[in-house]
Structure 1
Amino acid sequence: MLKNARVAAFCERFGLDVPIMLAPMAGASAPELSSAVIGAGGMGALGALLMQPAEILDWCSAVAAASSNRFQLNLWVPDPAPGRDAGSEARVRDFLAKWGPEVPADAGDATPPDFAAQCDAIIDAAPAAISSVMGLFPDDVVRRAKDRGIPWFAVVSTVREARRAEAAGADVIIAQGMEAGGHRAAFDPASAERELVGLVSLIPAVVDAVAVPVVATGGIADARGVAAALALGASAAQIGTGFLRTPEARIHPAWADAIARTAPEDTAVSRVFSGRPGRSVRTEYVRAATADDAPPPAPYPVQRGLTAQMRADAGRTGDAERMQAWSGQSGSLASTESAKTLTRRLWAEAQEILA
């Protein structure tokens, strides 16, 4: 039973039985995971950054067929094209050759899918919500979504960004604490490592700054985290790393095992995988690539292209020390039970704590 009027109103508005949402995680958004969370009464999610429009629509069809369309479709808002430095990239390639296959000279030329076409696809799919990260959707995308009755969830990392998102028309603010695994949500990549705000400080500040509902995300992996987020004023909790060890997540076993044994202080925010700051397990590669004598990473998405061969080889060989092993600071709390069981248990236990 939902006794909190704020939480109950959010759940009623978005058709949820429990105020728990799956975080959109690019590369870790198996349809089975969203279907399980939806089946437990929560909201599923797709991190569609690397997917072509047809792949996005296929994912939506698979999840809707197994459960419903109660999911959010998330896209990165692209930055301007990065500046390129051939000499710097060559030094990164030489460094990476020590950690995997030789990196081709053109590896840094790889680019993400066309953003405008992706936006068309997520609106055509008519999900429960579309969500933005790394910035705000263009005005025309917001207008088209609202014309279709599709709410916009904006992911932010500071109070300043939250105010900008609300002014631009966001229906819900998803406030990401610095504890979160994966890429930092900061609009400006230059500030992503400077403005590191923890969830306990961020949520009440954002709740006080905006009039729209706020969802808490980052470092939430058990019922204590869910209860704390709601007590701080959030209307729901969004969980990413906490679901990655469930069987439905289908991530590499070596990555899942690394999450399980990682203490909060054993994660690190770095640019060494993609060129954008992100929190991962502090693996041997991360330690070496962030050392004083290592070459600075190339900007996003150049660095992503440069590290692609190393990451692929790590996956083939099961070498977690070279994997892009994203993890939030509460990763060791992640459970291996089914995602449906986990979602239901988290809410049942959170209610007991809140009572």
Structure 2
Amino acid sequence: MNAALTALGVSAPVLAAPMAGGPSTPALVIAAARAGGMGFLAGGYKDAGALAEQIDQVRAGGVPFGVNLFAPNPLPVDPAEFRRYARAIAPEGRAYGLDLLSAEAVEDDDHWSDKIELLLSRPVPVVSFTFAVPHPAVVRSLRAAGTLVIQTVTSPAEALQAAEAGADMLIVQASAAGGHSGTFTPRRTPADVPLPWLLGEVAGSVSLPLIGAGGLATPADMVQALRSGAAAAMVGTVLLRADESGASLAHKEALAGAASRGTVVTRAFTGRPARALPNRFIDRYGDLAPFGYPALHHLTSPLRRAATAARDPERINLWAGTGHHHATPGPAVRILRRLASHL
């Protein structure tokens, strides 16, 4: 067993990625551990109380686990551009009785301080960060509390910044990943490069253990990631249809019917680049959307909730990585063990 797996407290080098917005449930995190790996609770879009409840549920399972947070990296929206976009998508909201036209731009930090306070007062085994590197003092405090700190990066430059801040490990996320890119510079979509190449570039810049992520969905993908220098591999999209996944029925159905479809990178739903299955909303508004996170996320949230309840896949964010056609239903333990079968 390599040193990174020992530090994580796991026996299998296949980890379940945090997927904010519902897919990452306590049951999915526990299942990942039962398969010999580790799962991450997604702290994004939750307040500290809701996150604490999920942490308690996983602790009761007596398994190793991690918690992921979105580190603040404001991308303020231009007020005029926000109003223009709200006008453009207003007809979509009216289909569900929503008034998007009068929405105000919300610029918040996703309850950052409260969640850091929670994780310091009730330490968890592992904390990972996405979107930005937290202040080194935060990293030092978490490590002093006995928590392993992992940072998501998308380039060698970001890896250097994470190493300087004191991160213990890095998640190297390729552009093939589903959902939001972890890039620190969201106005520039990361280059579309293969994960093995990116792992090699990052390994040449820092000496920290690396976890490969982005588009991994088959046993062969796992082997290639580890041969390219990763100590472990992290998967997300391939678990979206698992029994323990909290992904919406509309999302699961869209994945089931998307075997021949590709994916696109869009900011239409959140104002920040994210990879998804294409749908009518992206087709109509992808080129119109301004940069602006989290303002656009809050603007489109009511529409996405209503469309999800109606099982309308054309108005929701169908996050998916390039390996989405390998996502299958069934127990997460079985899916993860299959992925690790050639390691």
**TM-score, normalised via structure 2 length:** 0.93
* Structure 1 residue 200: Cα displacement: 2.3
Residues of 1 paired with 2:260 and 2:59: CA distance?
A: 35
Pairwise CA RMSD of aligned residues?
A: 1.8
Q: Moved runs in structure 1, 4+ residues, more than 6 A?
A: none
Match of 1:49 among 33, 44, 55: 44
Match of 2:238 among 239, 242, 249: 242
Residues of 2 paired with 1:152 and 1:259: CA distance?
A: 32
**TM-score, normalised via structure 1 length:** 0.90
1:129 maps to 126
Q: Which runs of 5+ in 1 are unaligned?
A: 1-6
Residues of 2 paired with 1:88 and 1:206: CA distance?
A: 36
1:221 maps to 217
Q: Which runs of 5+ in 2 are unaligned?
A: none
Describe the shift of the 1:112–1:319 C-alpha distance in structure 2 as closer, same or farther (beyond 3 A): farther
Give the number of the structure whose residues are more often helix, by fraction. 1
1:128-149: CA deviations, max 9, x gaps?
2111111111122111111112
* Structure 1 residue 273: Cα displacement: 0.6
Q: Percent identity?
A: 29
1:182 maps to 179
* Structure 1 residue 265: Cα displacement: 6.2
2:24 maps to 29
For 1:61, the aligned partner's letter is D
Residues of 2 paired with 1:252 and 1:109: CA distance?
A: 25
2:198 maps to 202
* Structure 1 residue 270: Cα displacement: 1.1
1:337 maps to 330
Match of 2:281 among 274, 285, 288: 285
- 8 Å CA contact 1:155, 1:176 repeated in 2: yes
Matched, 1:232 2:228: yes
1:159-194: CA deviations, max 9, x gaps?
111111112211101000000001011111122x15
For 2:303, the aligned partner's letter is M
The 5-angstrom pairing of residues 1-355 of structure 1 reads: 8-27=2-21, 28-68=23-63, 70-80=64-74, 82-85=76-79, 87-101=80-94, 102-109=99-106, 111-191=108-188, 193-262=189-258, 266-291=262-287, 295-348=288-341, 350-351=342-343
Secondary structure of 1:132 counterpart: strand
Residues of 1 paired with 2:173 and 2:32: CA distance?
A: 20
- 8 Å CA contact 1:72, 1:128 repeated in 2: yes
Secondary structure of 1:266 counterpart: coil
* Structure 1 residue 263: Cα displacement: 5.3
* Structure 1 residue 124: Cα displacement: 2.8
Secondary structure of 1:190 counterpart: coil
Residues of 1 paired with 2:125 and 2:222: CA distance?
A: 22
